[in-house]
């Protein structure tokens, strides 16, 4: 498996990427939405609390070498029949200190430290994913509204066409078939509007969920003035750089957490040195003494596990399996990162290659429609040819907007694959 990963590093291109999200997504309204999402998104806030929890556990692990201190006051009241009662008390300050000769405290401290780094990287990756999701929903919303605008304009023209065909039929220049064809095309465009409106509403709802706000209208730029995603020039370098990606780094820290947990489980087989003591005051040292005197007590012991109902061996086996799972997760994270990057780069290149051709196609259909209208005025060109040219123009315009969205999405996916929050 490791050989396959090394081979993959050599075959797939990687981009040197140092841009932060606010230099990639430059549309001012989109930037405001991203800022809002980073502050309000529930998943991000939950991840931030996970980081704080891990930091708290690390603070506790840093003090694991120190002894425990506690105050344990006690009092005893006794009375024998025919004798006076007696009251004895102790007010000791107790100390307990346990040191594993196998290094358990050290491994647990290292594990807690790695877990902090792991949660920090997971938080960073979630932020990158959130930025990409907000940008994706934003550009999708703008594109869908542009497609709705194009379809609405086409519907008005189609309705005029139906009226013209009916008028031409009345004077004998068109037949019933042409009228039915024009009406069917008009109905097809009209039927597409509810689907576009539904997609727009669903996109707004998804975007509001990312922003952790109730479903409502979302401010956004129009198609004609929206700022596109900006990525710097990409230079090809070895894919091994993918280990710096946040989710890959998190998996790597997770592997180190599992390794230290395994070492801690192995250290349970070594002896443990325990020292306990107390110092305080008492009024009872063999007999009733008043005033109180100082009480001193110290105990040391060395414990070597012999039989623990197979608990120690089972814990070690479980830790070994968890370590192997972490290895698999790390390898998978590398493969997923490489695949996402490769797909995003290929998708972007494909969009750029067809962008010019699609633009030329739209211009050609536009000229064909305008020419057919002119011929209709000065020659015997069939109105059906105008209808056909108009339908082709509409379809090409819708395809152009969809492919522009696909290009923006491929750029967003590149940011996500190479994310540098």
Note the pLDDT of residue 8.
43
Q: Tens of pLDDT along 165-181?
A: 788 788 777 778 878 88
Give the pLDDT band of residue 236 (cuts 50, 70, 90): low
Share of the chain above pLDDT 70, in %: 78
More confident residue, 122 or 157: 122
pTM value is: 0.80
**Contact of 272 with 302, CB cutoff 8 Å:** yes
Tell me what pLDDT residue 10 has.
39
Number of domains comprising the chain: 1
> Please, which pLDDT band fits residue 197 given cuts at 50, 70 and 90?
very high
Q: What is the extent of the structural domain holding 23?
A: 2-67+104-271+311-417
Rounded average pLDDT over 116-137: 94
Residue 298 is predicted with a pLDDT of 59
| pLDDT classification of 3: cutoffs 50, 70, 90 | very low
Asked whether 365 and 391 are in contact (CB, 8 A), the reply is no
Main-chain dihedrals φ then ψ at residue 99, nearest 5 degrees: -130, 120
Q: What is the pLDDT of residues 8-67, one digit of tens each?
A: 443 344 444 567 888 899 999 999 999 999 999 999 999 999 999 998 888 877 777 777
Is residue 333 scored above 50 in pLDDT? yes
Contacts of 27 (CB under 8 A, 6+ apart): 138, 221, 226, 227
27's tokens: 């549309």
Residue with tokens 């290149």: 349
Contacts of 159 (CB under 8 A, 6+ apart): 186
User: What gap in Å lies between CA 248 and CA 121, rounded to an integer?
Assistant: 9
Q: Which residues pair with 288 in a beta bridge?
A: 284
Identify the pLDDT of residue 16: 43
What local confidence, expressed as pLDDT, does residue 238 receive? Answer: 54
223-252 mean pLDDT: 78
Winning range, highest mean pLDDT, from 15-29, 142-156, 333-347, 407-421:
142-156
Q: What is the pLDDT of residues 57-71, one digit of tens each?
A: 888 777 777 777 777
Distance CA 53, CA 43 (A): 15
Q: Return the pLDDT at 7.
A: 40
Average pLDDT for the chain: 80
pLDDT in tens, 254-306: 999 999 888 888 877 777 777 776 776 666 654 444 455 555 555 656 566 65
Q: Supply the pLDDT for residue 44.
A: 94
CATH number at residue 241: 1.20.1600.10
Q: What is the mean predicted confidence (pLDDT) over 306-311?
A: 66
User: Would residue 227 count as lying in a domain?
Assistant: yes
Q: Which of 91-100, 144-153, 184-193, 291-300 shows the lowest mean pLDDT across its residues? A: 291-300
Q: What is the mean pLDDT of residues 338-362?
A: 87
Residue 237 scores a pLDDT above 50: no
Instruction: Give the angle subtended at the CA of 276 by the CAs of 275 and 282, to the nearest 5°.
Output: 155
Q: How confident is the model at residue 128 (pLDDT cuts 50, 70, 90)?
A: very high
**Using an 8 Å Cβ cutoff, are 131 and 33 in contact?**
no
């Amino acid at each position: 498996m490791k050989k396959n990963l090394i081979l993959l590093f050599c075959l797939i291109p990687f981009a040197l990427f140092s841009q932060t999200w606010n230099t990639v997504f430059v549309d001012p309204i989109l930037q405001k939405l991203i800022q809002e999402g980073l502050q309000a998104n529930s998943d991000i806030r939950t991840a931030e609390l996970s980081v704080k929890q891990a930091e708290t556990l690390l603070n506790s692990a840093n003090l694991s070498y120190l002894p425990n201190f506690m105050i344990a006051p006690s009092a005893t009241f006794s009375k024998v029949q025919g004798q006076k009662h007696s009251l004895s008390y102790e007010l000791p300050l107790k100390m307990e200190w346990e040191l594993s000769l196998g290094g358990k405290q050290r491994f647990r401290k290292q594990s807690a430290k790695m877990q902090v780094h792991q949660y920090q990287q997971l938080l960073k990756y979630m932020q990158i994913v959130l930025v990409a999701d907000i940008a994706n929903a934003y550009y999708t919303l703008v594109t869908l509204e542009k497609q709705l605008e194009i379809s609405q304009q086409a519907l008005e023209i189609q309705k005029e066409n139906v009226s013209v065909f009916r008028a031409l039929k009345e004077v004998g220049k068109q037949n019933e078939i042409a009228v039915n064809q024009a009406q069917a095309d008009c109905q097809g465009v009209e039927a597409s509007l509810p689907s576009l409106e539904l997609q727009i509403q669903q996109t707004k709802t998804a975007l509001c969920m990312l922003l952790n706000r109730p479903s409502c209208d979302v401010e956004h730029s129009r198609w004609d003035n929206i700022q596109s995603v900006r990525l710097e020039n990409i230079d090809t370098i070895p894919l091994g750089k993918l280990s710096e990606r946040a989710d890959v780094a998190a998996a790597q820290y997770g592997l180190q957490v599992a390794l230290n947990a395994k070492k801690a489980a192995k250290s349970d087989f070594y002896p443990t040195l325990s020292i306990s003591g107390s110092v305080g005051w008492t009024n009872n040292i063999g007999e009733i003494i008043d005033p109180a005197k100082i009480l001193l007590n110290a105990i040391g012991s060395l414990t070597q596990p012999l039989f623990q109902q197979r608990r120690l061996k089972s814990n070690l086996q479980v830790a070994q399996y968890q370590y192997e799972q972490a290895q698999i997760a790390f390898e998978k994270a590398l493969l997923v990162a490489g695949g996402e990057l490769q797909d995003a780069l290929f998708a972007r290149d494909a969009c750029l290659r067809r962008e010019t051709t699609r633009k030329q196609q739209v211009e050609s259909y536009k000229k064909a429609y305008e020419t057919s209208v002119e011929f209709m005025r000065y020659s015997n060109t069939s109105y059906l040819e105008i209808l056909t040219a108009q339908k082709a123009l509409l379809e090409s315009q819708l395809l152009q907007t969809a492919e522009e969205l696909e290009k923006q999405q491929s750029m967003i996916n590149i940011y996500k694959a190479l994310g540098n929050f």
